[in-house]
Amino acid sequence: MLKCYSYDIVCQEIPDEISLAVNISCCPNRCPGCHSPWLWEEAGEEMTEDMLTSLISGYSAAITCFCFMGGDAEPSEVEKISRWIKSRWPHIKTAWYSGRAELPDGFDVKVLDYLKLGPYIEELGGLKSPDTNQVFYKVSPDGTLIKSHI
Ligand code: SF4
C-alpha cells in the first residue's frame, strides 16, 4: 500500500497543469545526495480509496492533475490508483515522478498523462538542469512517450 507523507498544490512540476503533488514514502532508490531522504522510511497515511476521495474531493475544482511523487516500491499501486482516479475524476490528468531509469515491466503507461524517469544524480541536477539525466515525457493516448520539457 502506498503511503502519502505529505502533499501540496504545485504549478511547476507539470507544465500548464495545476497539480496535487503527493509525496510518497518508502522510496527504494537511495539516490546519493537525495533531496528528500525523509521519504526513504515508511511513514504517512495509507493511500486508500477513502483517503484519496477525501483528499482529491477537497481540491477537485482547483486541480487539473494528480502527481505521484514517488511510489517506486509499488508501481502496480501507482498504475491501479491512476486508473481509478481517471475513472472517478475524468477531468483530472495523472503524472508519475519515478526515480527509476526505465518503466517497470508490464506497467500500462496509458494510465498516465505525464511521466518523469530517472534517478536523482546530484552533479547532474534535476529536471530543470541542462545536464540532467532525468527525462520528462508526455504520454499519448496510445502509450507513446513524447520527450518534453518542464
Ligand atoms: S527517487 Fe527521489 S526521494 Fe527517492 S532516493 Fe532518489 S532523490 Fe530521494
Q: What is the pLDDT of residues 3-60, one digit of tens each?
A: 999 999 999 999 999 999 999 999 999 999 999 999 999 999 999 999 999 999 999 9
Q: What is the pLDDT of residues 63-106, one digit of tens each?
A: 999 999 999 999 999 999 999 999 999 999 999 999 999 999 99
pLDDT of residue 27: 98
Q: What is the pLDDT of residues 94-140, one digit of tens each?
A: 999 999 999 999 999 999 999 999 999 999 999 999 999 999 999 99
**β-pairing verdict for 135-139 and 145-148:** antiparallel
Q: How many CA atoms lie within 13 A of 29 on its CB side?
A: 29
Q: Closest residue (by CA) to atom 1 of ligand 1?
A: 99
Number of residues written out for the chain: 150
**Could you tell me if the CB of 121 is within 6 A of ligand 1?**
no
What are the residues facing 94 on neighbouring strands? Answer: 66
CA distance 36 to 74: 18
Mutate to test the pocket of ligand 1, among 120, 124, 133 (most ligand atoms within 8 A of CB): 120
**Could you tell me if the CB of 99 is within 6 A of ligand 1?**
yes
Q: Label residue 4 exposed, middle or buried (CB < 10 Å: 0-12, 13-18, 19+).
A: buried
Residue ranges of the domains in the chain?
3-148
Q: What CATH topology corresponds to 3-148?
A: TIM Barrel (3.20.20)
Mutate to test the pocket of ligand 1, among 25, 34, 124 (most ligand atoms within 8 A of CB): 34
